[in-house]
A and B are shown apart, each in its own frame.
Chain A
């Protein structure tokens, strides 16, 4: 038994280690851009709503449709569907670099919806109070809406991160590697079931860790409200 473990370690640790690094790379880089784009979109979706701070029917309508369209396409299809776009932006369609663009395109609208629902939970009375004080709308977005929504935003981003990790599993299809790809290639195609088990356990630990962390920070912000 011990022999088997050390043999397994020797053979697979470098491969699994590399996959973990790839998964982290894909997740962190995509998350970074997705948060920037998603939060902006989410804020815009709320602000341009009828009767809101920057109410604008046309912008709201277009954004709403746009987000819905992208959200309708499963990642595996989106990956190929936007190949020309990916090529134009990233210069390549393979490897970690080539998968960042589709991951961001996939995750941003999701984050936008999560941010939207988090912001809509904020008591509109506070916005009214700040408006009545003569405070600028831009300041209200930062200091009332985003501030008050922080616990929900953190929980939303946690959900988005977990779903992003799920999407990276499909990145193997464009040769980006990662844990999902490892489990698929060795575990499924080459019948190395132990590799699959180890990968799955690592993924479970990863997702559990992220969720726990998210819950912790959200609860800490929410503690007093």
Chain B
């Protein structure tokens, strides 16, 4: 649906050449939700603007529904853009127009007749849950409501792709959740393919099928959300994961551990806890598993559980335990050895 091949974007500024996007490859299949995560300044915004050619890539090709859009004449590009909705961090609504007109005006400008446009406005105001607020002005709405108007405006063109540029970054956690639910709903019910950029791991966690981690303009790691949450390779990816689940045990906590043994992290995919397994460890071996931290992350396509355990026992026996756990299909990482 969306395919970028070797896309680069270089800016020539007074302070020199800035490579905002470096050789990015990305492929979003129909009906999926993909997310690009990265810190600010990583080049995410420039990247997503390359998709609808608000930024023209310096190099590489952009394909939308199999058709190359880089190099299209302006008229054809405009037609193509109508098939790509976009929502923004700053909502970008007309301040001087009502909710109704904010959705109506673009439709009329795109040549829809009045009756057809009215039908669409009503339909999408209903879908985003803003019925009754048609006559309000953006200034009278909360951030979440403004984003709903922006989503309705984007959807009213009935695009097959939706681009989301940090759409929840200006919202509080609760509102973020409700907007994410709405995005999931339109993905599922209307079959709209979504590409989003964010710096919030919980956005990825909740709605993405596939994730790209971006740093310094390049994609440094990518994979299905489950893979990335269970086997993060890059330090930056691990830092992002730390924002939602503490993956490391603090030094002060380690100092408190006096018994000899090994600190390990167990990662479970698909089932919620590892407790029955730990119970069987105590039955089978003479080590005592001491749970230091545990959490469950609910992803869009599954559940990932993390348990950090201090195995109190001697080294040889601990190694047997690790082998046993691995045989049981659990991801095991040794974090520390305590003498």
**What is the 8 Å Cβ interface bit string for chain B, positions 183-209, against chain A (1 contact, 0 not)?**
000000000000000000000000000
Are the C-beta atoms of B95 and A148 separated by less than 8 Å? Answer: yes
Given that A123-B90, A143-B109 are contacting pairs, would A132 and B81 also be in contact in the complex, using a CB cutoff of 8 Å? yes
| Cross-chain contact B52 with A132 (CB below 8 angstroms) | yes
0/1 string, B149-179, CB within 8 A of A gives 1: 0100110010000010000000000000000
Within 8 A of B (CB), among A133-161: 133-136, 139, 143-144, 147-148, 150-151
Contact in complex: A225, B138 (CB < 8 Å): yes
Rounded to whole Å, the gap between the CB of B193 and the closest CB of chain A is: 16
Given contacts A133-B106, A134-B78, A134-B81, contact A125 B138 (CB under 8 A): no
B139 within 8 A of A: yes
Residue A190, interface by CB 8 Å: no
User: Roughly how many angstroms separate A116 CA and B85 CA in the complex, as a whole number?
Assistant: 30
**B153: which A residues are within 8 A, CB to CB?**
129, 133
A143 to B97, CA, bound (A): 10
Which residues of chain B are within 8 angstroms of A128 by Cβ–Cβ distance? Answer: 54, 88, 92
Interface residues on B, range: 20 to 34
Q: Known contacts A126-B94, A144-B94: does B106 contact A135 (CB below 8 Å)?
A: yes
Residue of A nearest to B106 (CB): A133
Residues of A within 8 A of B84 (CB): 132
- Contact flags B128-154 to A (C-beta < 8 A → 1, else 0): 000000000111100000000010011
**What B residues does A133 contact at CB under 8 A?**
81-82, 85-86, 106, 110, 153-154, 157
- Nearest CB of chain A from residue B83's CB, rounded to whole Å: 8
Is B308 an interface residue when CB atoms closer than 8 A count as contact?
no
A125 to B146, CA, bound (A): 14
In the assembled complex, the CB of B65 is this many whole angstroms from the nearest CB of chain A, namely 15
Interface code A192-216, partner B: CB below 8 Å = 1, 0 otherwise?
A: 0000000000000000000000000
Cα of A151 to Cα of B150 in the assembled complex, Å: 23
> Which residues of B have CB within 8 Å of A135?
78, 106, 109-110
- A151 to B139 Cα, complex, angstroms: 15
Interface residues of A in 101-131 (CB under 8 A from B): 123, 125-126, 128-131
Which of A132, A143, A225 makes the CB contact (< 8 A) with B86? A132
With a CB–CB cut-off of 8 A, which chain A residues contact B315? Answer: none
Closest CB-CB distance, B166 to chain A, in whole Å? 12
Q: B93 at the A/B interface (Cβ < 8 Å)?
A: yes
A123 contacts B92, C-beta separation under 8 Å = yes
Contact indicator B110/A224 (Cβ below 8 Å): no
A224 touches B93 (CB 8 A): no
Cβ of A70 within 8 Å of any chain B Cβ, yes or no, is: no
A180 to chain B, nearest CB (A): 37
Q: Which residues of A contact B97 (CB under 8 A)?
A: 147
- Cβ of B79 under 8 Å from chain A: yes
Label chain A's interface by main secondary structure. helix
A150–B96 touching, CB < 8 Å: yes
User: Which residues of A have CB within 8 Å of B163?
Assistant: 132
Given contacts A125-B92, A133-B110, A133-B157, contact A225 B137 (CB under 8 A): yes
Instruction: Give the chain B neighbours of A224 by CB distance below 8 A.
Output: 95-96, 98, 137, 139-140
A78 located at the interface, meaning its Cβ lies under 8 Å from any Cβ of chain B in the complex: no
User: At the interface, yes or no: A173 with Cβ under 8 Å from chain B?
Assistant: no
Q: How far is the CA of A207 from the CA of B82 in the complex (A)?
A: 48
Query: Which residues in A have their C-beta under 8 angstroms from that of B150?
Result: 129
Task: Give the docked Cα–Cα distance between A225 and B79 (Å).
Answer: 31
Shortest C-beta distance, A22 to chain B (Å), equals 37
Does A174 reach chain B (CB closer than 8 Å)?
no
Cβ of A221 < 8 Å from any Cβ of B?
A: yes
For the complex, what is the distance from the CA of A221 to the CA of B95, rounded to whole Å?
10
Q: Whole-angstrom distance from the CB of B94 to the nearest CB of chain A?
A: 6
- Asked if residues B95 and A129 are in contact (CB atoms below 8 Å), the reply is no
Most buried by B among A132, A135, A150, A221: A132
Interface assignment of B319: CB less than 8 Å from any CB of chain A: no
Residues of B within 8 A of A222 (CB): 96
Complex Cα–Cα for A126 and B154 (A): 13
Q: Is B105 an interface residue (CB 8 A)?
A: yes
A147 to B139, CA, bound (A): 16
Assembly CA distance A40 to B332 (angstroms): 69
Q: Which residue of A lies closest to B77 (CB)?
A: A134
Residues of A near B54 (CB, < 8 A) are 128, 131-132
Evaluate contact between A148 and B96: CB separation under 8 angstroms: yes
Cα distance A125–B54 when bound, in Å?
12
Residues A129 and B79 in contact in the complex (CB < 8 Å), given A136-B109, A147-B94: no
Given contacts A128-B54, A129-B88, A133-B82, is CB(A225)–CB(B95) below 8 Å? Answer: yes
Which residues of chain A have a CB within 8 Å of any CB of chain B?
A: 123, 125-126, 128-136, 139, 143-144, 147-148, 150-151, 221-222, 224-225
10 residue pairs from A and B, CB less than 8 Å apart: A131-B81, A132-B52, A133-B106, A134-B81, A135-B109, A148-B96, A221-B96, A222-B96, A224-B96, A225-B139
5 interchain residue pairs of minimum CB distance: A224-B137, A225-B95, A134-B81, A129-B92, A134-B78
Beyond the given A134-B77, A147-B94, A150-B96, please list 18 additional residue pairs across the A-B interface where CB-CB is below 8 A.
A125-B91, A128-B92, A129-B88, A129-B150, A129-B153, A132-B54, A133-B154, A133-B157, A134-B79, A134-B81, A134-B110, A135-B78, A136-B109, A151-B96, A222-B96, A224-B96, A224-B139, A225-B96
